C-alpha cells in the first residue's frame, strides 16, 4: 500500500471511530447543491442519524454547507449538511438541519440493518 493510500485509510478509520451513530446501508440517488456550482448527482452508500455518505463524480469542497435531496423509504428528504470527509469519490456529509427531517431519517435508520464497520476489531 502506498503512503497516500495508508494516509487515506487512517483518516477514514479515525472519522468512522468518531461517529456517535451507527451507519446503515442505503443505496439511492442523491442530488447535492453546492453554493457556487450546478447540482451534482450521485448515489448514497450509507446513512446514520447524523449524516450520510455518497459517491459523487465532481469535487465538493470540505467544510462547505450544501443542500442534499434524496429519497428514503418513508418519503423524500431535503436537508442541509456540511461536507466533512472526502476519500477519492466518496464524501461524508454531517446533517446540520433542524430536527424536522431528522425524524424521518431516524425512522429510516431504525428500519434498516446496521452496516458492519470495515475497521472494527472483531476477535
pTM exceeds 0.75, yes or no: no
11, pLDDT greater than 60: no
37, pLDDT greater than 80: yes
Helix, coil or strand: residue 109: helix
Q: Please, what is the average pLDDT of the chain? A: 80
Question: Can you say how many angstroms the Cα of residue 77 is from the centroid of all Cα atoms in its chain?
Answer: 14
Instruction: Indicate the pairing of strand 65-72 with strand 90-95.
Output: unpaired
Instruction: Determine how many CB atoms are found less than 10 A away from the CB of residue 41.
Output: 14
Residues 104 and 74 sit within 8 Å (Cβ to Cβ) = yes
User: What would the mean pLDDT of 113-117 be, rounded to a whole number?
Assistant: 65
Residues 108 and 26 sit within 8 Å (Cβ to Cβ) = yes
User: What would the mean pLDDT of 105-109 be, rounded to a whole number?
Assistant: 80
Q: Which residue has the cell 435531496?
A: 69
15, pLDDT greater than 50: no
117, pLDDT greater than 80: no
Amino acid at each position: 500500500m502506498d503512503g497516500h493510500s495508508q494516509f487515506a485509510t487512517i483518516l477514514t478509520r479515525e472519522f468512522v471511530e468518531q461517529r456517535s451513530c451507527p451507519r446503515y446501508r442505503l443505496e439511492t440517488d442523491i442530488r447535492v447543491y453546492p453554493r457556487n456550482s450546478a447540482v451534482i448527482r450521485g448515489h448514497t452508500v450509507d446513512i446514520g442519524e447524523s449524516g450520510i455518505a455518497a459517491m459523487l463524480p465532481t469535487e465538493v469542497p470540505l467544510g462547505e454547507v450544501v443542500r442534499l435531496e434524496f429519497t428514503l423509504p418513508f418519503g423524500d428528504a431535503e436537508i442541509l449538511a456540511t461536507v466533512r470527509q472526502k476519500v477519492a469519490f466518496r464524501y461524508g456529509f454531517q446533517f446540520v438541519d433542524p430536527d424536522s427531517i431528522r425524524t424521518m431519517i431516524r425512522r429510516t435508520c431504525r428500519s434498516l440493518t446496521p452496516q458492519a464497520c470495515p475497521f472494527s476489531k472483531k476477535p
